[in-house]
Amino acid sequence: MQAKKRYLILLSAGACLALLFYLGGVELPAARRSRQDRSRSGYRPEQPWPHYSDPLHGFVPWDQTDTEDYNLHISARQKRDVNRSVYRGKRCRMDSCFDFSLCQKNGFKVYVYPQQKGEKISESYQNILSTIEGSRFYTSDPGQACLFVLSLDTLDRDQLSPQYVHNLKTKVQSLPLWNDGRNHLIFNLYSGTWPDYTEDLGFDIGQAMLAKASIGAENFRPRFDVSIPLFSKEHPRTGGERGFLKYNTIPPFRKYMLVFKGKRYLTGIGSDTRNALYHVHNAEDVVLLTTCKHGKDWQKHKDARCDKDNAEYDKYDYKEMLHNSTFCLVPRGRRLGSFRFLEALQIPTTVRSIHQDKILSLRQQTQFLWEAYFSSVEKIVLTTLEIIQDRVLEHGSRSSLMWNSHPGGLFALPQYSGYLGDFPFYYATLGIKPYPKFTAVIHAVSPLVSQSQPILKLLVAVAKSQYCAQIIVLWNCDKPLPAKHRWPATSVPVIVIEGENKVMSSRFLPYETIVTDAVLSLDEDTVLSTTEVDFAFTVWQSFPERIVGYPARSHFWDSNKERWGYTSKWTNDYSMVLTGAAMFHRYYHYLYTHYLPTSLKNMVDQLANCEDILMNFLVSAVTKLPPIKITQKKQYKETMMGQSSRASRWADPDHFAQRQTCMNKFASWFGAMPLVHSQMRLDPVLFKDQVSILRKKYRDIERL
């Protein structure tokens, strides 16, 4: 009896197990492996019953998307084949796919292939090439080049785009310097096409580096490729608008907490992400708007939410939302990249912060990043080149502080020094102060014929300053150097240097003999007392990143002529301090020489004019601040105009016209007007106050 029961139980269990196998409820290990294998080769298993308690799906990479539309067009094997063919050098790194020897002789120079006749180039790609050709990195000699850039337009590799360049594979392979892409840089914004949007560029990039928008993590080669933002064809080539953050609000919250406004893709890649936004939208402080209206046949795919979403979408103004939001959402679209990234940076907004105490600092940081690296095509391209240069010259690369703090990596050149304390921007961060002495550099252009000449009086007055370490006389005169005994005896060293090629720009060369942080730049006929020199240096110590000095000038916009104007009128408003009597950091000598293009410096040298204007443009572009004017005696204008060595220069009408021309030429190169107006003048404490003169430190200034 007991045996019968055991057999019946065993038979029932076997029948149940067979039924479960038949219905597919249990899988053997072999069956599980078989199903996984089929899934890898493109087979799509049935979707599990959804859990309504968790309606939002977690993020998965696009190549693992399991949607019906996607797998209908491309299989997993095809995707692997595409990636394998396009990124054959997927394991490339700088040490394996880059020839450093090409950069050792001439440094980091970039060669752009000559444009081939009949080849069409989009405006955006032409802007990229023009930026490179106008930069300090450019060389027209491929034998001097460290990096090569194609003249073939590779920006838009969407086969449905009118900007698509056909037969690019053959054209690239036929380039005599291609060398399997080694030491080449390829710019790309769009790759692949509807409906799959793969990262296929349509040709084998070999060992070339990519500067690419919308590049997937699985294809990005760390410290080899450069990820760039997706920018529109309307993005300015140079300059660009400044960020819209004008002042801080406390508390830092705005009308909206989180906003987004854009297309909602009903099917295919990118649809899962934006289709889920309505779960978070509350129409109050979280406003995430999507529209179905895009494409010719959007109504064919219209779902139950489209009418409501479209109506809600039309109620809000996009710019108004961005200006009044604390955070901005940047979801992916068809491609990984989005225009929303740059738009969010400018406004400013951020997407990754949830800490209230950091909102203000993050908001300011987005403005810095926008203005330093993203506001124009020029900045995007130059940032890309600087990143690659840091990899090539790794021993002289920028620190994270240089990249992520003002003025940014484009203006902080690591070739100048490896020590942050040698730059004028990091004193406060490092908790240090500049060296407490200055070097005077006197620009001499007239022969020394009399012991009563202004240059000798100036030399004596400067040498008496308690802060003067040394005086350098830059001899740019056509006459031979005076004998040593012709110079007056001083308590500080006087070094006479014969100017290189006798040109104006030589006064701003980074001479190794300048060992102090501060440089007092002087014209030979400047009239300053020792007290004025001391006060100028004292003020500069509080503003080491700016130009501090006496003679001020200003600029204005001439609406009738539609050009910038230059004025020397003495008013309460100024935007420049002339370098004939000014104090600034020696780093600006290096930046003037190595950052500015040869074309601008040649213009200055040919005119023998405008070097002071160009230096003011440069410093204001770096600091985003005006110079600082300090107290000046009333007789300065008359005294300067009365000096014989420069009287003809200042009285010459062509001299003034040249300075007008310089203003507009410089503004054109910088892409905008960097000069900033100011009405601030710094005077000594108790200056002109009705108190005893004995209580005043700089008492001699009032007597002048």
Instruction: Give a yes or no: residue 118 inside a domain.
Output: yes
Instruction: Give the chain's domain count.
Output: 3
Residue 81: the pLDDT is 53
Judge if 512 and 583 occupy the same domain. Answer: yes
In this predicted structure, what is the pLDDT of residue 287? 84
pLDDT at residue number 246: 57
The predicted structure's pLDDT at residue 357: 63
- What pLDDT is recorded for position 237? 92
Q: What is the pLDDT of residue 219?
A: 87
Task: Name the residue type at position 391.
Answer: R
Pair (620, 529) in one structural domain:
yes
| Residue 518 resides in a domain | yes
Helix/strand/coil percentages in the chain, nearest 5: 40, 15, 50
| Mean pLDDT of each 10-residue bin along the chain, 704 residues long | 51 52 41 36 36 34 35 49 56 93 93 90 95 94 96 90 89 94 95 75 92 87 93 88 62 72 74 73 81 76 82 84 76 62 49 58 83 93 96 86 94 93 95 96 92 92 96 93 89 91 92 96 93 94 96 94 91 93 97 94 95 97 95 54 47 83 95 94 69 62 60
Assess whether 336 and 481 both reside in one domain: no
pLDDT score recorded for residue 277: 76
Any domain includes 548 = yes
Q: In this structure, are 100 and 218 located in the same domain? A: yes
Residue 687 falls inside a structural domain: no
pLDDT for res 424:
97
List 225, 422, 612, 654, catalytic entry: 612
- Asked if residues 288 and 258 have their Cβ atoms less than 8 Å apart, the reply is yes
Q: What pLDDT is attached to residue 66?
A: 35
Give the separation between CA 347 and CA 364, rounded to whole angstroms: 11
99 and 208 together in one domain? yes
**In a shared domain, residues 463 and 332:** no
Domain carrying residue 323? 258-373
DSSP string, 136-159: TTB-S-GGG-SEEE-SS--SEE-T
Q: Does residue 622 share a domain with residue 486?
A: yes
Domain presence at residue 503: yes
Tell whether 657 is covered by a domain: yes
Q: CB burial class (10 A; 0-12, 13-18, 19+) of residue 301?
A: middle
Which residue from 553, 554, 551, 526 is spatially nearest to 632, judged by alpha carbons?
A: 551
Q: Is residue 624 domain-resident? A: yes
Distances (CA, A) of 305 to 266, 288, 294: 10, 14, 15
**CATH at 484:** 3.90.550.10
Determine whether 153 is an active site residue. no
Do 97 and 205 reside in the same domain of the chain?
yes
**CA-CA distance, 462 to 406, in Å (whole number)?**
33
Same-domain pairing of 289 and 143 = no
Query: 346 and 485 share a domain?
Result: no
pLDDT at 693: 61
What six digits make up the tokens of 265?
């893709």
Q: CA–CA separation, 413 vs 382, rounded Å? A: 13
**75 in a domain, yes or no?**
no
Residues 469 and 579 in one domain: yes
SS3 188: strand
Considering the domain architecture, whether residues 489 and 360 belong to the same structural domain is answered as no
Strand pairing report for 184-188 and 209-212: parallel
- Residues contacting residue 437 through CB under 8 Å, at least 6 positions apart: 467, 468, 469, 516, 518
